[in-house]
Amino acid sequence: MKFENQPSYSLGQRGPNKDTLAGESGNVRLVSQSTLGEINRGRVLQALYDNGPKSRAELARLAGVNRTTITGIVQPMIEEGLLVEGDAVPSDFKGGKPARPIYFNPEAPMLGAVLLLPGRIQTCLVTLSGDIKALTKAQFDPHGDRGAFLAIIKDTLSATLSQAHQAPFGIGIASGGMIDSDNGVILAVNLAPVLTGLHLVDILQAHFSLPVVIDHHPRALLVGDRWFGPGRGQQNFAAIYTGEVLGGAFYIDGRVYRGLAGSGGELGHTVVQIDGELCNCGKHGCWETVAALPWLRREAARLGFANPESVTCARLVKEAAEGAEAANGLLDRYTRNVAFGILNLQQTLSLNSYVLHGDIAGGGADAAERVRQHVERLVKKRPNQEISITLNGIGEGHTALRGAAGLVLSSHLKLVI
């Protein structure tokens, strides 16, 4: 028989000479058996991350598979030193062979991490359980010479990596600015032009002979929440950062959402006030224009606050607690404005869980509770769906470094086909 009148067309989103990607029209990838094995190994590791040390039998129950299957997956990783078997744990039952829990080997390789901010570099090692080691800091001229910058970052990383007893799994980089995470390129950093256009991943991979991954700062915070923070075990949640700018990122179904070449998640530049204040991106009325520190300080000045340039969420919370009505009012407006963007994310994606970072997190539990109450007032609740607003990153402030390390974990574990 002849097949006729069969359409085969697309919406025209691909540019000229662009290679088709897996899953795009014209190219559907099947799953091979070795890929199947990789997926399952990654999921077993994920289960250990999410649930803590577990025996083979417990892992088999969690994963819905045969005990033999778990042994087959786990044994090679014990033999290669990634995992280790713990002491026998007496059973909770009447009788029964004691279980032998399995977990990550403290002697396992660590993760390299780089935090890249305009003018400043921090590097460290992070253990599989999230401990920070060999922290090294340096500064660079954001408008300076490309070669000088590369020398500084290589030296700083070398100082850190020299304190590892064995080669780490890889190096993760959290950077400000517009990042193409697929190609490992810093597309643009307005505050540090020396970085713009830098193919940093290729350069560092060649220099250190280690896998290198890069992503932008809010997404690194998110990944840090996922592996080492309040997002542990979560499949769907967002991290929201407020400061000089406003940014965010989110996990959907266990995966960091990136969009094409990492371009998704420009949450600060979604519009919440048509024809509102001019944003530094050129549009009017972006979420960032009403929910970042510049807005807060401008409003503080307009309302006659003392030292308006030093107004932060923490300061407002403190002054409100001391009875200052003006501070209470401004704090309420700020947290309400933050809530509008969270509302829009909630309406769009139903993530139900949000972790606050940066200035808004500096306001502590009081600020978080205000944001949550505003969000709850705005969202039409669905049955059995509580919205959770939590904090991370207050205190020692290494969330972004852990996040950078988490980028390595996410890419190494191959958790999703």
Question: Could you tell me if 82 and 105 are in contact, meaning their C-beta atoms sit under 8 angstroms apart?
Answer: yes
Residues that bind DNA (CB under 7 A): 30-34, 36-38, 40, 55-58, 65-69, 71-73, 75, 88, 90-91, 93-100
Determine if 253 is a binding residue for its own copies (CB under 8 A). Answer: yes
String of contacts with its own copies for each residue 134-173, x by CB under 8 A? ----------------------------------------
Binding site partner of 129, from DNA, its own copies, none, Cβ cut-off 5-8 A by kind: its own copies
CA 18, chain centre distance (Å): 28
For the record, the structure tokens of 273 come out as: 């006030």
Question: Could you tell me if 384 and 222 are in contact, meaning their C-beta atoms sit under 8 angstroms apart?
Answer: no
Identify which of residues 7 and 90 has a Cβ nearer to DNA in the complex.
Answer: 90
Residues 342-361 that bind its own copies (CB under 8 A): 343-345, 347-353, 355
Nearest distance from residue 43's CB to DNA, in Å?
Answer: 9
User: Any residues with CB less than 8 A from the CB of 192 and at least 6 apart, and which?
Assistant: 118, 119, 142, 143, 176, 177
Identify which of residues 150 and 271 has a Cβ nearer to its own copies in the complex.
Answer: 271
In the 3-class helix/strand/coil scheme, how is 354-411 assigned residue by residue? EEEEEHHHHCHHHHHHHHHHHHHHHCCCCCCCCCEEEECCCCCCCHHHHHHHHHHHHH
Q: Which stretch binds its own copies (CB under 8 A): 21-29, 156-164, 203-211, 361-369?
A: 21-29
Identify which of residues 25 and 307 has a Cβ nearer to its own copies in the complex.
Answer: 25
Determine if 395 is a binding residue for its own copies (CB under 8 A). Answer: no
Nearest distance from residue 31's CB to DNA, in Å?
Answer: 7
String of contacts with its own copies for each residue 191-220, x by CB under 8 A? ------------------------------
Nearest distance from residue 416's CB to its own copies, in Å?
Answer: 9
Q: Taking the CA of residue 55 as centre, how many other CA atoms within 13 Å lie in the half-sphere pointing to its CB?
A: 12
For the record, the structure tokens of 238 come out as: 């967002």
Q: Which stretch binds its own copies (CB under 8 A): 81-89, 119-127, 207-215, 403-411?
A: 81-89
Binding site partner of 147, from DNA, its own copies, none, Cβ cut-off 5-8 A by kind: none
Nearest distance from residue 78's CB to its own copies, in Å?
Answer: 13
CB count within 10 Å of CB 86 equals 13
- Which one of 265, 362, 363, 393 is in contact with its own copies (CB under 8 A)? 265
Identify which of residues 8 and 166 has a Cβ nearer to its own copies in the complex.
Answer: 8
User: Any residues with CB less than 8 A from the CB of 365 and at least 6 apart, and which?
Assistant: 391
Nearest distance from residue 45's CB to DNA, in Å?
Answer: 13
Identify which of residues 79 and 275 has a Cβ nearer to DNA in the complex.
Answer: 79
| Residue 127: strand, helix, or coil | coil
- Residue 43 has phi, psi (to 5 degrees) of -70, -35
Residues 365-384 that bind its own copies (CB under 8 A): 378, 380, 382-384
Binding site partner of 304, from DNA, its own copies, none, Cβ cut-off 5-8 A by kind: none
Question: Could you tell me if 262 and 215 are in contact, meaning their C-beta atoms sit under 8 angstroms apart?
Answer: yes
Q: Are strands 246-252 and 255-256 parallel, antiparallel or unpaired?
A: antiparallel
DSSP states of 171-226: EEEEESSEEETTTTEEEE-TT-GGGTTB-HHHHHHHHH-S-EEEEEHHHHHHHHHH
Identify which of residues 237 and 305 has a Cβ nearer to its own copies in the complex.
Answer: 237
Q: Any idea what DSSP says for residue 267?
A: G
User: Any residues with CB less than 8 A from the CB of 209 and at least 6 apart, and which?
Assistant: none
- Which one of 136, 242, 335, 337 is in contact with its own copies (CB under 8 A)? 337
